[in-house]
Structure 1
Amino acid sequence: MAIYSLTGKRIWVAGHRGMVGAAVVRALEARGDATIIKAGRDVVDLKDQAAVRSWMKREKPDAVILAAAKVGGILANATYPADYLYDNLMIEANVIEAAHREDVGKLLFLGSTCIYPKFAAQPINEDALLTGELEPTNEWYAIAKIAGIKLCQAYRKQYGRDFISAMPTNLYGPHDNFDLKSSHVLPALIRKVHDAKLSGGKVTIWGSGTPRREFMHVDDLASALVFIIENYSDHGHLNVGIGEDVTIRELAETAAKVVGYQGGFDYDSTKPDGTPRKCTDNTRLRGLGWAPRIGLEDGIADTYRWFLENWKEAA
């Protein structure tokens, strides 16, 4: 039996227009047993403390899934470090504090596995947090997410709040960002191989292609988050991933197979590789009874279909 049932609850999915938030909304709508609260930036600016407090006081959600964040790839993080640190600190601090003030029954904060040290032992388990230096290419975002974990733990310790944290691995899926100036590696690859297929050009990939990464379809994440909020209540954060990784080269070849691109790849070794390997240990989450179901090739195919149907520059 779930330790906290969402049935009949009013659930605020903060960041419902983003890739993760939209997937969580889909998962909750499929259940059909709760009221989903949505509020875009036109309704409440999550960086505005007074606005968040006022909105939360008026709406009084029973539970909050905090998926709102400023996200981006290596280039975006390197170009806008202040934005990635400040915006994410403000969003999480304002929502978590307001949830405490309005006596919200359960809050789930989403972070990222970039919180872990660059050279953490692989696969990375939750105990690796704060045991070494961060990857410099995304440390601003990582520091903000670490602060979010600690905020949840602090409110739990001081006030007894049932605020918990989950750290997803690299994500992809419908509603992803395919803008090459700010996207993560997988949507960027899909966009590049699609464009090259149409133009007959060659695809250049940053780095050597040897770093290993783990990729999880966002619908699997949404399934996990709904499971976690109902079945987990503890001080420590939980990793959310599939526990398997591939090289960037293997990822590119899989994307090319799905898209139908046969032009090959060039690797720009003058660009940074980032962390050499990042694969999560999901023992704790699997021990609670949850497991992923979407394979990488099937997941990329689903994402590519969404890209073709929805991305304004896909044609």
Structure 2
Amino acid sequence: MKHYLVTGGSGFIGAALVQRLVRDGHRVRVLDDNSRGHTGRLSGVLDDVEFVQGDIRDAAAVRGAVRGVDGVLHLAAVNGTRHFYEKPEVVLDVGVRGMLNVLDACRADGVGDLVVASSSEAYQTPPQVPTPEDVPLVVPDVLNPRYSYGGSKLISELLAVNWGRSGFDRVAIFRPHNVYGPDMGWEHVIPEFSRRAVGAITGHPAGPVPFPIQGDGRQTRAFVHIDDAVDGIVTVIDRGEHLGIYHIGNPEEVSIADLARRTVACLGREAQVIPGPAAPGGTDRRSPDISRLTALGYAPRIPLSAGLPGVVEWYAERARADAARIGQAAE
């Protein structure tokens, strides 16, 4: 058993990883400022972890958190498409300064095992689908704030790989692809679709439910349930090679229009999908080639048909509760 630091450990993926590591018997320290996470995600294991409240951009805080651990699992980042457009400077600051602080702290304290979370956003529009790990990483337009997150992950990969060439026993990188599950925040497509579905159903108690979307709906994504994603991350932690890069996901593709229809169907209704203008900087198709990770023993277990209904209902319950509170406040 090892002693790990998980940065961003109260975030959506980070907290799920912490839960798993504790269940597997590891000692875990968490560094997070709870700006987007919360310790409620660590319910059931919070007494078993050492929680350090701190900003990943604070070099002293990172140095203190790294001291004495066997390995660092670096997940701290500002995710969520809305944030990419609204505060790109924060996205970049957290991503790049945070990565440098982690690398400095690991070297200063002789921590030789580092696993870094990147993202499929690092390669944006892939030249082939399913997409392997060795495609070019690109920022198509530096003037588009949409690419602040992908740019920060591209830089983080460059830093991790090149600093990792010396002074580390193992540096590995994983790129999650469209992870979904309960309590991931509202700034992602499945939570957003769930909330919009509740509102549309409320406004249209009979017949097909009008459901506007961005773009023509033919764009595809491949979603991976949080439980499968954590299995993949743990596979990288346990078996990933030095300077290895691994896609984590489920290659099952779904169009955005079909996702909208499935989301509404989870709530017992039929959607009338209404195409709209596409968001600038979007990608038409994305699905990971996970053969490099499956070679290490990973296999996703939860198809979208099995994982989506419970997740949609989780968000729908909270959307209904929010609407009820707003209605009561207006009375």
TM-score (norm 1): 0.87
Matched, 1:101 2:108: yes
Q: Distance in 2 between matches of 1:206 and 1:295?
A: 25
Superposition map of 1:195-234 within 5 A = 195-200=199-204, 202-234=210-242
Residue aligning to 1:35: 27
Matched, 1:83 2:100: no
Superposition map of 1:223-302 within 5 A = 223-269=231-277, 271-272=279-280, 274-302=282-310
Partners of 1:113 and 1:168 within 8 A in 2: yes
| Post-superposition offset of 1:65 | 1.5
What amino acid is aligned across from residue 313 of structure 1 in structure 2? D
Residue aligning to 1:185: 189
Q: Aligned to 1:22, which of 11, 15, 18?
A: 15
Matched, 1:67 2:60: no
RMSD (Å), alpha carbons: 2.3
Q: Aligned to 2:165, which of 137, 157, 165?
A: 157
SS in 1 for 2:224: strand
SS in 1 for 2:298: coil
Residue aligning to 2:328: none
| Post-superposition offset of 1:209 | 0.7
Q: Which protein, 1 or 2, shows the higher relative CO under an 8 Å CA cutoff with sep ≥ 6?
A: 1
**Pair 1:54–1:129, CA change in 2 (3 A):** same
Partners of 1:206 and 1:273 within 8 A in 2: no
**Pair 1:160–1:40, CA change in 2 (3 A):** closer
Residue aligning to 1:313: 322
| Post-superposition offset of 1:119 | 4.3
Residue identity (%) = 28
What amino acid is aligned across from residue 23 of structure 1 in structure 2? A
Matched, 1:115 2:115: no
| Post-superposition offset of 1:263 | 4.5
Q: Distance in 2 between matches of 1:291 and 1:227?
A: 10
Per-residue CA deviation, residues 195-224 of structure 1 (Å, 9 max, x unaligned), is 222333733211111111111111111111
Partners of 2:124 and 2:150 within 8 A in 1: no
What amino acid is aligned across from residue 45 of structure 1 in structure 2? D
TM-score (norm 2): 0.83
Unpaired segments ≥5 residues, structure 2: 35-52, 325-331
SS in 2 for 1:23: helix
Q: Distance in 2 between matches of 1:165 and 1:120?
A: 21
**Pair 1:17–1:308, CA change in 2 (3 A):** farther
Q: Distance in 2 between matches of 1:109 and 1:244?
A: 25
**Worse-superposed segment, 36-45 or 280-289:** 36-45
Q: Distance in 2 between matches of 1:235 and 1:208?
A: 39
SS in 2 for 1:165: strand
Q: Distance in 1 between matches of 2:17 and 2:223?
A: 18
